[in-house]
Structure 1
Amino acid sequence: MIHFQGWVYRAHNPYWSFDPLSGDGAKRHGGRFNPKGVQALYTSLTEIAALAEYHQGFPHRPQPTTLCTYEVDCSDITDLTNPKERGKLGIDLDHLSSPWEMLAGVGRIPPSWALSQRIIEDGVAGIIVPSFAKNAPENGKNLVFWVWGSVVPHKVVVIDDFHRLPKNEDSWRK
């Protein structure tokens, strides 16, 4: 495991920008590295990768986006972009890139979910993984958190020095 310190990025539907640290959407719908019921915060190591992840369903028809930057000081991160680390854990890229939505849709457990469950149980707070968005940059990477909060050792805080993000969903009501 490594200690990650730096910035990460996340593109949001503007409607949900009042809660940029929420993993509730991932918990409600599931994601590549979390089944339904497991909270996760999906971020990217670059702005371009974050936008690619957000627009992956419509790469040629970008939709309105709120891009947030997060300050991270987090221990217990596993870098699955490192072949040696994947080998040590018995993971290959096929586990990470499996068609998780299709598998889950037919009642099968995607390999990425089984992997996530196993390493969460081992005390891993998050993983660095390649971006599998079709329009992602060649070396696009994501950092997916399962454990995060406002303090070290799992600090992930949104940078909003000028308080530009809305504080609640009332700003979107008509």
Structure 2
Amino acid sequence: MPEISLTLWRAFVPRWAHLPLSGEGAAHFSGRWNPIGASTIYAARELSTAWAEYNQGFVQHPALIAQLELSGARLADLTDAAMLSELAMTAGIHQCEWRDMLDQGLVPETHKLRDRLLADGVNGVIYPSFMSPGGTCVALWRWNEDGAPRLEVVDPDRRLPKSPASWL
């Protein structure tokens, strides 16, 4: 799998503006592509998709939207039928009822695939947006550590706060 670079968009709760690359929200609550305890960055390849995914079709909550630059990432593109076939998967993986499975004490297929891909040195996945038809998202499991891809927030004027003190 070749290393790729992407521009991504991430919408998140403004209170965490000082930690745009933490992934701790996903670690705390779990997600489609990560179990509890596993930091994960969820972002979108399109700004409109980031907004739709953040709100999940519900009330429009305030959000901070940041542009991210990802470089040197090994991502499994699960929007590509050939990649799915290579992984012995089908497009059905995108309909995985991961929340229901977790509620039943089961391990979702998306989490099993994550474990398999991580073991193969893959840093994350590209997958179709559930909330924005035609949009694509990225779940990134490794970033900004030795041997991992680089993920940078685009903030040329240094407007993002450096601590939570800005919210007090």
Contact 2:142 2:148 in 1 (8 A): no
Whether 1:30 aligns to 2:26 is no
Question: What's the secondary structure of 2:74's corresponding residue?
Answer: strand
Q: TM-score, normalised by structure 2?
A: 0.94
Contact 2:30 2:38 in 1 (8 A): yes
1:47 positional shift: 0.2
Q: Which residue, out of 114, 119, 125, partners 1:127?
A: 125
Contact 2:123 2:148 in 1 (8 A): no
1:57 positional shift: 4.7
Contact 1:74 1:156 in 2 (8 A): no
Percent identical residues: 32
In structure 1, the gaps of 5 or more residues are none
Q: Which residue, out of 80, 83, 86, partners 2:84?
A: 86
1:151 positional shift: 8.4
Contact 1:23 1:40 in 2 (8 A): yes
Distance in structure 2 (CA, Å) of the matches to 1:153 and 1:36: 21
Distance in structure 1 (CA, Å) of the matches to 2:145 and 2:118: 20
Contact 1:2 1:78 in 2 (8 A): no
Contact 2:125 2:140 in 1 (8 A): yes
Distance in structure 2 (CA, Å) of the matches to 1:150 and 1:18: 19
- Provide closer, same or farther for how the CA distance between residues 29 and 152 of structure 1 changes in structure 2, counting only shifts above 3 A: same
Q: TM-score, normalised by structure 1?
A: 0.91
The 5-angstrom pairing of residues 31-110 of structure 1 reads: 31-58=31-58, 61-110=59-108
Q: Which residue, out of 100, 109, 113, partners 2:111?
A: 113
- Provide closer, same or farther for how the CA distance between residues 152 and 119 of structure 1 changes in structure 2, counting only shifts above 3 A: closer
Question: What's the secondary structure of 2:127's corresponding residue?
Answer: strand
Question: What's the secondary structure of 2:159's corresponding residue?
Answer: coil
Contact 2:42 2:140 in 1 (8 A): yes
* 4+ aligned runs moved over 2 Å, structure 1: 150-153
> Match of 1:6?
6
Cα deviation, 1:75-120, whole Å, max 9, x if unaligned, reads 3111111000000101112223211111101111111111111111
> Match of 1:157?
152
Question: What's the secondary structure of 1:94's corresponding residue?
Answer: helix
Contact 1:96 1:111 in 2 (8 A): no
In structure 2, the gaps of 5 or more residues are none
Aligned residue pair count: 168
Q: CA RMSD in A?
A: 1.6
1:152 positional shift: 7.9
